[in-house]
Every structure is written in C-alpha cells, then in structure tokens.
Amino acid sequence: MATPKNYDPQEYDVVRDTISALKYKVREIQGSYGYEGDCLCAEAMEMINFMQTDESFYYWSGDTDSVIEKILQNAGLSEAEIQHRALRREDAIYA
C-alpha cells in the first residue's frame, strides 16, 4: 500500500490536540444550557478522564491536572461542576 505524499505521522500530537479539543469543548459548554450542555459536559469529562489516565500525559513534561484546572477556571467552571452536569445527563438517560 502506498503512503500518500502529504502523510506525516509526526503531525499528530495527542497531548497538544487533546488539550486543544478540551479548550474548544469548554467554550461550547459556556454557550450551552440544559440537556445539550449536560451532553457537552459528558464529552468534556471523557476527555479529562483520558488526560488523567493516558500514558502520553503521564510522560508529558507538564502537570496535567494543573492544565485541566486552568482551562476550566478560565471558563469559570470546575471539574466538580463538569462531573455533576455529566452525571445529571446520565440520570436523564436512564430515568
């Protein structure tokens, strides 16, 4: 199988791209309310859990928990609030 000329396996950086995705998700949460916001919180919680358990972040030179906290604080949110809203979404699904 031929490799496309524009394919460069070095372009994807799991740490950089996951942090960027979390920042984007948090901005989406800020503008959303109700069930939609709760769904976005569930997605953000999945990213946070990934960041806290993935080997790439374990070997990363930065402090993952501090980065997560800073991203959430800049948006006026906390990890506890995100988790609460994500669980509220799950309660609505299984009710």
Q: What is the pLDDT of residues 26-76, one digit of tens each?
A: 999 988 888 888 899 999 999 999 999 999 999 988 899 999 999 999 999
- Distance (Å, rounded) from C-alpha 23 to C-alpha 44? 9
Q: Are 79 and 48 in contact (CB under 8 A)?
A: yes
Kindly list the domain boundaries of the chain, sorted by start residue: 14-94
pTM of the model: 0.80
Tokens representing 28 are 């989406």
Question: 15, 13, 11: which is closest to 51 by C-alpha?
Answer: 15
